[in-house]
Chains A and B, each alone.
Chain A
Amino acid sequence: MSKKTVIIDYQLGNLFSVNQALKKNGLETIISSDPKDIKNADALVLPGVGAFSDAMNNLKGLGLIDLLKHSIDKGTPFLGVCLGLQMLFDKSEEFGDCEGLGIIKGVVKKFPTVNNVNKRVKVPQIAWNSIHPSGGRSWKGTPLDGVKEGEDFYFVHSFYVEPQDVNTILTKTTYGDTSYASSIFISNIFACQFHPEKSSVEGLKVYKKWAEINNLL
């Protein structure tokens, strides 16, 4: 029987494009907020787009928070995109402090709107930007295996994550003067600030690799 990847529907994110990108790579997907589906999922995807506090409230309202934490804890392959990365953290500064899932130690911060020499930086970052290995960490065996260092991916965000443990960081990206974690990789968790589903051919490759290393095809 083919493996089932569940895209978690918290009534906000842009599920459609993530779903299309996964299906294009041959994954069998369902979009669901049903706890039963999430419990039985072979892999979980938490997509992006939306406001942090609304997203957390919706997850709470749907009764998915503990379930999600439990699934990730027991090793279900997890892919988070944009807000799906940010929500893994302890808390976010978006519209007042808001508590996250607390799976990864650290905080979500807003980009400063001026750089070191007091020049204006546009926020949100809405642009293609490059990703680089963090502290020389190899991408081998990660969903970025096969992606060129410095490749451009599509970013749309005003907030970035700051993990306490730098070893969780897989890639770094610089915007204005802020060098930040643009993706993290810890055993069964891969989460990225950029949108692979919006990053054309290279982005589709990332999803394919993620599916391959988790035997989802």
Chain B
Amino acid sequence: LYERNSLSDIISKTAKEIFIPLTVGGGIRNIRDIKNVLRAGADKVAINTAAIKNPKFIKDASLTFGSSTIVVAIEAIKQSDGQYLAYTDNGREETGFEVVSWARRVEELGAGEIVITSVDKEGTGEGFDLKLVKMVAEAVCIPVIAHGGCSGPKDAAMIINEGWADAVAVSSVLHYKLISQINKVDENFEVEGNTSFMKSGMIYSKIKPCTIQEIKSEIKNTGIAVRF
């Protein structure tokens, strides 16, 4: 966010114990930044702001690290005329880039994956933005990950089957369950920001907390191959 990096410590700690793919996004601006987060243990990087500021960066990065290392994150906000535009700096800065043409362009430039985030839906539990995800998934030949709005297992299965997403990214639905399970917020996180909301135990009413297993089961029930 706003070109700050603060992740390398968290990446190293995570990568030491976690043996599944790890994508890191936030403040990646140049080839050196990518090298550093990969060195810290990430497998892929997600780039948004720097890609929009300098699309050629996607090309340089994919030539250097291979397409499959470069994920482009697109943060979409629906406009009053129904058009979706890409934003930077966590949905704060508008760019005038229309989402579908930008998605096609990043594919041409060598991106290996696209994470499409609906800024409007993210964190709300109102369900994925089906129209947005489908539009992007139809437009490109690289994997598309749907993000923003998942309220539970059924949403995840729906966006794969009807939105043609290749994968889903979820956080809130899992986190609220986890917070209720561990029942405390680590004091060390105070330095990262305000934790009073987490401590309060409050949940957005539309989010139905669940586990990864529950999401996988639901997706599998709809006939999609899922690893267990």
Residues of A at under 8 Å CB distance from B? Answer: 12, 14-17, 20-21, 24, 49-51, 54, 83, 95, 113, 120-124, 126-128, 152, 154, 156-158, 195, 197-201, 203-204
Contacts and interface: CB of A to CB of B under 8 A. Distances in A.
Interface string B103-147: 000000000110000000000000000000000000001110000
Nearest to B38: A14
Contacts of A21: 19
Contact of B143 (A17, A83, A126, A195): A126
Contact of A49 (B15, B19, B38, B141): B38
Given A49-B43, A122-B166, A198-B43, A17 B141 contact: no
B64 A122 contact: no
18 contacts: A14-B38, A16-B12, A49-B68, A50-B66, A51-B65, A83-B66, A122-B142, A124-B67, A124-B142, A124-B143, A126-B112, A126-B166, A156-B44, A198-B19, A198-B20, A198-B21, A199-B20, A203-B19
A87 to B, nearest CB: 12
B16 interface: yes
Contacts of A14: 38, 41-43
B178 interface: no
B169 interface: no
A54 B60 CA distance: 12
B227 A17 contact: no
B20 A51 contact: no
Contacts of A122: 141-143, 166
A49 B41 contact: no
Nearest to B42: A14
A200 B142 contact: no
A158 B66 CA distance: 9
Given A17-B41, A124-B112, A198-B43, A49 B69 contact: yes
A126 B62 CA distance: 15
A154 B65 contact: no
What secondary structure prevails in chain A residues at the interface with B? mixed
Contact of B15 (A20, A120, A156, A200): A20
B65 A124 contact: no
Contacts of B154: none
Interface string B24-65: 000000000000001111111000000000000000001111
Given A128-B227, A156-B68, A20 B16 contact: yes
Contact of B20 (A24, A127, A154): A154
A50 B15 CA distance: 19
Contacts of A17: 15, 19, 22, 41, 43
Contacts of A195: 21, 43
A197 B42 CA distance: 12
Given A95-B63, A156-B21, A203-B19, A126 B68 contact: yes
B3 to A, nearest CB: 24
Contacts of B68: 49, 124, 126, 156-158
Contacts of A50: 64-66, 69
A131 to B, nearest CB: 12
A128 B143 CA distance: 13
A199 to B, nearest CB: 7
Contacts of A120: 141
B65 A20 contact: no
A49 B38 CA distance: 10
Contacts of B42: 14
A56 to B, nearest CB: 13
A16 B64 contact: no
Contacts of B141: 113, 120-123
A15 to B, nearest CB: 8
A15 B142 CA distance: 25
Contact of B142 (A83, A123, A204): A123
Interface string B150-194: 000000000000000010000000000000000000000000000
Nearest to A53: B63
A84 to B, nearest CB: 13
